[in-house]
Amino acid sequence: MATTASTLLKSSFAGARLPAAPRAPSSVAVAAPRGAGPICASASSSSPPYDLTSFRFSPIKESVVAREMTRRYMTDMITHADTDVVIVGAGSAGLSCAYELSKDPSVSIAIVEQSVSPGGGAWLGGQLFSAMVVRKPAHRFLDELGVAYDEAEDYVVIKHAALFTSTIMSRLLARPNVKLFNAVAVEDLIVKQGRVGGVVTNWALVSMNHDTQSCMDPNVMEAKVVVSSCGHDGPFGATGVKRLQDIGMISAVPGMKALDMNTAEDEIVRLTREVVPGMIVTGMEVAEIDGAPRMGPTFGAMMISGQKAAHLALKALGRPNAIDGTAPAASPAWREEFVMSSKDDEVVDA
């Protein structure tokens, strides 16, 4: 019988393509005539019915709610004050990285996201349209997640981008080795003896108001590996590599070149790497540091770049990974895809 660890370590790249999981139609509750008994308001036939004619919640003290929220959050902060991996940014690349990384249940993962709502730009397609386009072979990851799509010869289309984002988040956050700290900003890096060793954090609203208030000092999270997935340039974009430039750990951040989908997606996966000791860069932030083309509204590279970053982090931690072929479920084809997309030197000067 397979162990929990071996089951979690299975990857979307290990083996043949699976068919997309069909979407079961939602159950619709039908109102019962007056006096006909309890009304079933649950979509699941196995759930007990609710009597909505005399519905009451169990009583609770307000202080109990306050204590539960505070105790659990403070426990999470204490637990992740020193963690294995901190992922900065919960867009499509950061979430894909966290999902792949969390398959190893022994790895402790903290995701730090400045926005209240994680997901970055993956809630919609291009120009605020609904559909998400994913070029093959990244559709294998959708098969693993069970996200349905319409299939064309070279790409697939998810009818609404939110299906991908909500699915990966719900599966990821259910895992016991993952904690999402949303509405939390990374203000700086911890750097010791030329190696990134964690992040400096603050509440996002505090971070946005340093110029309007007196000094509001931050907190810290130490980590063995930091994965920066802060997205492309903007008010809150590419902050990881910008900070590396500010402190002289890299020489330049040239920014993205003009859009070229075919070149951009391959380049983003190929150039995903550990840019300085202790810090891996993934997703569109890669284009910023390397001057690669922007890719526009296609999302496959974000998913695969995130997965590659996860295996680079596992390698840095000395855990089984697909980069060097030590992952139990890593097929030769999977190893080849990651190795071919890697630079000769994983730690490079920008």
Is 296 among the annotated ligand-binding positions? yes
Residue 19, domain member (yes or no): no
Q: What is the pTM of this model?
A: 0.82
Is 80 among the annotated ligand-binding positions? no
Distance between CA atoms of residues 283 and 299, nearest Å: 10
Distance between CA atoms of residues 3 and 10, nearest Å: 11
Residue 17, domain member (yes or no): no
Is 113 among the annotated ligand-binding positions? yes
Provide the pLDDT for residue 281. 96
Which ranges of the chain have pLDDT less than 50?
A: 1-10, 12-42, 331-336, 339-350
Q: CATH code at 247?
A: 3.50.50.60
Is 186 among the annotated ligand-binding positions? yes
Is 1 among the annotated ligand-binding positions? no
Is 114 among the annotated ligand-binding positions? yes
Provide the pLDDT for residue 213. 84
Provide the pLDDT for residue 337. 53
Is 232 among the annotated ligand-binding positions? yes
Is 245 among the annotated ligand-binding positions? no
Residue 220, domain member (yes or no): yes
In which domain, by residue range, is 138 found? Answer: 83-340
83 touches 154 (CB < 8 A): no
Tens-place pLDDT, residues 109-154: 999 999 999 999 999 999 999 999 999 999 999 999 999 999 999 9
Residue 64, domain member (yes or no): no
Residue 257 DSSP symbol: B
Residue 29, domain member (yes or no): no
Provide the pLDDT for residue 56. 92
Kindly state the tokens that stand for 54.
């005399």
Q: b/e per residue, 211-247, with b = 16+ CB within 10 A? A: eeeeeeebeebebbbbbbbbbbbeebbbbbbbbbeee
Nearest Cα residue to 343 out of 270, 284, 263, 294:
270
Q: How many domains does the chain have?
A: 1
Is 121 among the annotated ligand-binding positions? yes
Provide the pLDDT for residue 47. 75
Residue 71, domain member (yes or no): no
Provide the pLDDT for residue 236. 58
